[in-house]
Amino acid sequence: MNILYDERVDGALPPVDKTALLEVLRQRLPDLDLLHQTEDLKPYECDGLSAYRTTPMLVALPRHIEQVQELLRICHERRVPVVARGAGTGLSGGALPLEQGVLLVMARFNQILHIDPAARTARVQPGVRNLAISQAAAPFGLYYAPDPSSQIACSIGGNVAENAGGVHCLKYGLTVHNLLKVEILSVEGERLTLGSDALDAPGFDLLALFTGSEGLLGIITEVTVKLLPKPQLAKVLLAAFDSVEKAGHAVADIIAAGIIPGGLEMMDNLAIRAAEDFIHAGYPVDAEAILLCELDGVEADVHDDCDRVRAVLERAGATEVRQARDEAERVRFWAGRKNAFPAVGRLSPDYYCMDGTIPRRALPGVLKAIAALSAEYQLRVANVFHAGDGNMHPLILFDANQPGELDRAEALGGKILELCVAVGGSITGEHGVGREKINQMCAQFNSDELTLFHAVKAAFDPGGLLNPGKNIPTLHRCAEFGAMHVHAGQLPFPELERF
Amino acid sequence: MNILYDERVDGALPPVDKTALLEVLRQRLPDLDLLHQTEDLKPYECDGLSAYRTTPMLVALPRHIEQVQELLRICHERRVPVVARGAGTGLSGGALPLEQGVLLVMARFNQILHIDPAARTARVQPGVRNLAISQAAAPFGLYYAPDPSSQIACSIGGNVAENAGGVHCLKYGLTVHNLLKVEILSVEGERLTLGSDALDAPGFDLLALFTGSEGLLGIITEVTVKLLPKPQLAKVLLAAFDSVEKAGHAVADIIAAGIIPGGLEMMDNLAIRAAEDFIHAGYPVDAEAILLCELDGVEADVHDDCDRVRAVLERAGATEVRQARDEAERVRFWAGRKNAFPAVGRLSPDYYCMDGTIPRRALPGVLKAIAALSAEYQLRVANVFHAGDGNMHPLILFDANQPGELDRAEALGGKILELCVAVGGSITGEHGVGREKINQMCAQFNSDELTLFHAVKAAFDPGGLLNPGKNIPTLHRCAEFGAMHVHAGQLPFPELERF
C-alpha cells in the first residue's frame, strides 16, 4: 500500500537537523538510550499496519518520566515532531514514525504500580501489557475487561491512545469506559492529571477527550484503570446459519430480548473455513455464518440466559445450536475467533482488515451491500466481527503482486467505510483512524466539525508537534481527496439503493 | 448567599445596549417570543440553587432551531453573552442568568422524536423531561437509566449539560455513559453532530467532552440516548447501623464481594429522622446510619444477590436488615431517600446541599472528618449520599438570619469539598460546578490544567460568549481566592491528620 504521508502537516514544520538534535539530546540527556543507525531503526518502521512504513529519524527509549519531559522540552524548542509508540501493535498506523521526527518508545515504562482491590483499580505505567493487568489482578478475583485480540502484546498506553475494544466491549465498554485517571505530559513536558480516583471529575471531561486521541494531545505516563470482579461462570453458544442475513437478524433478536451477552461475534463462511483450517476449533464449515454468544455472570443467571438465547437462536432459524461442553471447548471456540485474522491471512498473499461500526439494525443490509461490492471489485471479503455492538471487521483478500489489486483493495475498503457512515455508523470501532483512515474522516465529518477538531488539537498542541498527519485530516486534504461528506446517511449512497 | 459574579469574565465583554438588541431581535426574528419586562423576568432569576439570583437582561423562548441559530448569530455579531436554560432545576447555578446577557430557554423543544426499540435508542429534543423518556420507552419494556432526584421536572438537555447522575449511576453510569449522539449549535449558530448512532466515533471524543460542559461549548438541540431493558425484578434491603463508620465499611464490603447493586445509598441519623418525619418511610429513627441497597436484574440473580448482600451486611455489624416486603414498601423506602433534601430542609430555615465524590475506601474517614468540621463550625450536617459510588451530599443546616451563619455555612461547604479533593476525590459528583463551586475548582486543578480548560473553551467559543463565569474559573480568580491546590492529596490537609 502507498504511504500516504500528509506533507501539508509536516511541511508546516521546519526541516530537522538530525546531527544537531542528536548532539543536544546527548548533552542534556546523557543517560537516554537513542537509536539512530539505519539498521537499528528497521524494527520501528511500522506498527501492526505493516503496509505503511517510514524510517524514523531517531528512536528514543526513555526509562524515567524526567527523561520524557526533557525530551519533549527539547523537541518543543526545536519544533521537532514526536510520535509516541507503545507495543507497536496498532492496526491503523497510529504509531507510524516520521522521517523528520522522534519516535518516543514508552515500552520500558512497564511497571504495575498498585492494585487496589477495595477500590477495584490498577495504577500502571503505559508500557504494561493489557493481559498483564488482568494477570496481576487475578489473585484478587478481579480483571481488566477490554480485551483486544492483541492483548498478549499490546500495552495499556496504546489502548488508551486508540480507545481499544475487544470481544467483551458490548457488555463492559471500550477502554474509555474502564478508565479512571490518566497522567500525561503536555507537548511542553508539563505534568497533567486527567480524571480522578473518584466517579466523576469537574470541568471538561478531558479524560474522555484524551482517550482515543491517538497521540495528538499528549504523552501518557500513567494510567489508572477500573477492574471488574471475574464472572463466576462463562458459557458460550455456537449457532450456525444458512445465510448471513439470518445471523444478522438473530443478533438483533438477542439484544431485543434484553440480554447483554459478554461477547456476541459473527463470522461468515470464508472466515469460518479459514479459522477451522488453522485452529480446528470445531466450527461447522458448511455454515454460511456462525454466531458465538458468550453469557457470563453469576451461575443461576448464566444458565437462565443460555436457555433464553438458545430459544431466540432457534426461532431466528439457526440450523444448529451447540453449547461448549466444557471450558476447553469454550476456549477453543474463542481461539478460532481470536485467530480469525491470521487464519484468513493464510488464504491470500495479502489482506486488508477494515474496522467500521454500524447501527445493529443495519447489519443484514450492510452485509448484503458488502457482498455486492466484493463482486464489483472482484476481491473476496471475509467478515469477522463484534456483531453485538455493530463493530465490523471485513477482511479484504488481495495479492499485492497482481497489478491493480492493491489499489482495488484500498478503494473497496474506502467504499465499505463510507457505507458504514451512510447507514449512520462510523469509520472505526476500535482500531482508530491513524494514517490508514485519514481520508475517510472527510466522509465522516463536515468541515465545521473538522475545524473544531483542529481547534481542540491546537488547544493542547498549538505547534502541531504531536503525531502530525494522523487522526484528523487537514481541510486541504479533504478538499483534494474530494470526499463527499456522507454523514449519517444525509446524502444518498448508491450502493444502498440496491436493497 | 452572596452572588459571587465573576466580573472579570463579564468585564471583558462590552456593555450590551438592551434597546438596540431588542430592536434587532424583533426585526430579524419577528416570531421569537421575548421577555424583557422586570415582572416577566422574575421567574428566571435563578435555577435550583436559589441562593444565587440575577435578573436576566432578556429571556428568549424559541420554538424552532432556525430561531436559535439566528439568535446566536445576532448575539455573536454584537458580542452578547448567552446562557442556555432547560427546566431550571440545576443545583449549582449553571443556568444563573446574566444581567448583561440573553437567557435562552430551550423548554419548548419538548418533543420525543423517535423511539427505536431494536437499536434501543430514543432521539429527543433537549426540553424533554428525563422521566418522560422512560415513560415513552415503557411500552417497549425499556427505560432511560440516569435518574436524578429531579427527574420528574429536569430536562435531558440540562442532564447532558451537567452530566447528571442519580441513584442508579453506580450500576448504569452517568449521563455520559448513556448517550450516543448530541446535535448542537456552535456559538456562531452552525449545526454540529457529536457522536454517532454507532458504538464509537472517530476523531476526538467531543461527545464526552461536551457532556457536563455546563453550557460553555454550545447549545444542545437534539439528544440521542441509549435505553436499557427494564430489570425483571428489583428488591431493596434496608440495613441499620449503630455507627456511620460501620455503614461505610459495609458499602466497601458489598462492592468487594463483587456485587454491583442497582443503587446503594446511605443516610445518617439526622437525615433518617428528617425523612421519617416527612415521608413515614418506616426507617429506624434510632439508627446512626442506614443503607438502602437495591438489587435488580433477572429474578434468579436478584434473589441470589439479596442473600449475599444480607450476609455481608450482617457480618459488617448491621443491627437490623430488612427486605422490602412488597413493591409498595420498596417505593416507600426510596421515597424517603429521594425526598431527603426537602425533608432535611424542614429542620432548619436554610440548608446548603454539597456534592462531592471520594474514593470508596475513604468513606469512613471522611465521615469522621465531616463530623469534626461540623463541630468546629458549629453547624449541623446531615449526610445523604450515593454511597456505592462515593458521591456524597452533605447538607449543611444554617439560618441566614443569624449573623455569620451564612458565611460559616459557605466556608464549611468549601472545606468539605477540599477534603474530598485531598483524599483523591472531586468537588462534584453530579450537580456540576456552575457558579457555586467555581472557587473550589482552584483547589481541584493546578494552573496548567486550568489553562488547558480555557484553551479547550476557546476552541469552541473564542469570544467567551457562552455561559461566561461558570464552570472554569479564571486564573486571576484563583490567585485572588488564594486557594491551595490540594489535588489528589499531594498537599497535606490538616483536618485529615485527626484520624
State residue B483's pLDDT score: 52
Q: Is residue B216 part of a domain?
A: yes
Q: Specify if A476 maps to a domain.
A: no
What pLDDT shows up at residue B352?
86
> Which residues in chain A touch residue B471, judged by CB atoms under 8 angstroms apart?
202-203
Alpha-carbon gap, residue B407 to A353, rounded angstroms: 63
Pairwise CB contact (< 8 Å): B453 & A119: no
Q: B45 and B137, same structural domain?
A: no
Q: Measured between CB atoms, which of B213, B297, B487 is closest to A204?
A: B213
Residue B28 lies in a domain: yes
Contacts of B359 (CB under 8 A, 6+ apart): A119, A197, A198, B390, B423, B424, B425
Residues A307, A388 within the same domain? no
- A394 and A415 share one domain: yes
CA separation for the pair A265, B133 (Å, rounded): 31
Whether B205 and A212 lie within 8 Å, measured CB to CB: yes
Nearest CA in chain B to A359: B198
Q: Does A5 touch chain B (CB under 8 A)?
A: no
Q: Do the Cβ atoms of A329 and A400 come closer than 8 Å?
A: no
Residues A365 and A490 in one domain: yes
Please tell me if residue A441 touches chain B, with a CB cutoff of 8 Å.
yes
Q: Is A113 on the interface with B (CB under 8 A)?
A: no
Whether B264 and B184 share a structural domain: no
Q: By CA distance, what is B438's nearest residue in A?
A: A203
Instruction: Give the residue from chain A lying closest to B358, CA to CA.
Output: A198
Distance from the first to the final alpha carbon of chain A? 32
Whether residue A171 sits in one domain with residue A304: no
Same domain, residue pair B156 and B214: yes
Whether A1 is covered by a domain: the verdict is: no
Contact between B359 and A119 using a beta-carbon 8 Å cutoff: yes
* Nearest C-alpha in B relative to A92: B202
Q: Which residues of B touch A200 (CB under 8 A)?
A: 163, 165, 174, 212, 357, 391, 426, 428-430
B368 and B252 in one domain?
A: no
pLDDT surpassing 70 at residue B2: no
Does the pLDDT at position B492 exceed 80? Answer: no
d(CA A300, CA A338): 28
- Pick the last residue of a domain from A75, A105, A135: A105
Choosing among B121, B178, B199, B354, which should be mutated to test the A contact, i.e. which has the most A CBs within 10 A? Answer: B199
The interface predicted TM-score (ipTM) is 0.86
Q: Is A491 on the interface with B (CB under 8 A)?
A: no
Indicate the burial class of A140 (C-beta count within 10 angstroms; 0-12, 13-18, 19 or more). middle
Point out the residue among A117, A211, A359 whose CB comes nearest to the CB of B119: A359
Does A461 reside within a domain?
no
Instruction: Note the pLDDT tens digit of each residue in A362-420.
Output: 888 898 899 999 999 999 999 988 888 888 899 999 998 999 998 999 899 989 998 99
Q: Which grid cell sits at A484? A: 463527499
Q: Which of B204, B361, B391 sits opposite A456 (nearest CB)?
A: B204
Mean pLDDT calculated for residue range B81-88? 97
Determine, for residues A199 and B452 on separate chains, whether the beta-carbon distance falls below 8 Å: no
For residue B65, the distance in angstroms to the closest alpha carbon of chain A comes to 18
Amino acid at B102: V
**Residue B291's beta-bridge partner residues?**
B239, B266
Average pLDDT, chain B: 90
Tens-place pLDDT, residues B169-226:
888 889 999 999 999 999 999 999 999 887 667 899 999 999 999 999 999 999 999 9
Per-residue pLDDT tens over the stretch B19-69: 999 999 999 999 999 999 999 999 999 998 877 899 999 999 999 999 999
Closest to A434 measured CA to CA, from A50, A35, A41: A50
Minimum-distance CB partner of A426 among B201, B361, B437: B201
Number of domains, chain A: 4
- Compute the distance between CA of residue B143 and CA of residue B372 in angstroms, rounded to an integer: 42
Report CB contact under 8 Å: A425, B197: yes
Q: Is A258 on the interface with B (CB under 8 A)?
A: yes
If contacts are CB pairs under 8 Å, which of residues 351-410 in chain B contact chain A? 357-361, 389-391
Show pLDDT as tens, one digit a residue, over chain A (499 residues): 333 334 434 446 889 999 999 999 999 999 999 999 999 999 999 998 877 899 999 999 999 999 999 999 999 999 999 999 999 999 899 999 999 999 999 999 999 999 998 889 999 999 999 999 999 999 999 999 999 888 999 999 999 999 998 888 888 889 999 999 999 999 999 999 999 887 667 899 999 999 999 999 999 999 999 999 888 899 999 999 999 889 988 998 898 787 889 999 999 999 999 999 999 999 999 999 999 999 998 787 888 899 999 999 999 999 999 999 999 999 999 999 988 888 988 989 988 888 899 888 788 889 889 999 999 999 999 998 888 888 889 999 999 899 999 899 989 998 999 899 888 888 888 889 999 889 889 988 988 999 999 999 999 999 999 999 999 999 888 887 765 555 444 433 444 443 3
CB contacts, 8 Å: A471 with chain B: 202-203
Edge-first strand listing for the sheet containing B58-61: B33-35, B58-61, B102-105, B82-85
CATH number for the domain spanning B180: value is 3.30.465.10
Asked if A94 reaches chain B (Cβ–Cβ under 8 Å), the answer is: no
Q: What is the pLDDT of residue B491?
A: 38
DSSP secondary structure string, B254-315?
HHHTT---SEEEEEEHHHHHHHHHHH-----TT-SEEEEEEEEESHHHHHHHHHHHHHHHHH
Using the Cβ of B256 and the Cβ atoms of chain A, whether some distance falls under 8 Å is answered with yes
Amino acid at B289: A
Last residue of a domain, one of A323, A343, A363: A343
**Do B214 and B242 have their domain in common?**
no
For residues B79-85, give the mean pLDDT.
Answer: 97
CATH number at residue B283: 3.30.70.2190
Predicted pLDDT of residue B376 = 96
- For A356, the domain range is 348-440+483-498
Assign residue A404 the CATH number of its domain: 3.30.70.2740
In this structure, are B241 and B319 located in the same domain?
Answer: yes
Q: Is the pLDDT of residue B98 over 50?
A: yes
Chain B residues within an 8 Å CB radius of A177: 173, 177
- A334 and A392 inside one domain: no
Let me know whether B396 and B309 are in one domain: no
CATH number at residue A69: 3.30.43.10
Which residues have a Cβ under 8 Å from the Cβ of B63 and sit 6 or more positions away?
B31, B33, B108, B109
Question: Where does a domain end: B299, B314, B343?
Answer: B343
Q: How many CB pairs under 8 A join A and B?
A: 247
Could you read off the pLDDT of B283-319 as tens digits, one per residue?
Answer: 999 999 999 999 998 787 888 899 999 999 999 999 9
**Is A486 in contact with A493 (CB distance < 8 Å)?**
yes
* CB contacts, 8 Å: B455 with chain A: 458-460
The residue with cell 449511576 is B169
> CA B391: distance to chain centroid?
11
Residue B463 lies in a domain: no
- State how far the Cα of A177 lies from the Cα of A164, in Å rounded to an integer: 11
B192 Cβ under 8 Å from any chain A Cβ: yes
Looking at the complex, does the CB of residue B458 fall below 8 Å from at least one CB of chain A?
yes
- B363 band by pLDDT with thresholds 50, 70 and 90: confident
What percent of chain B has a predicted confidence (pLDDT) above 70?
A: 94
Check whether B1 has a pLDDT greater than 90.
Answer: no
What confidence category does residue B486 fall into, taking pLDDT thresholds of 50, 70 and 90? low
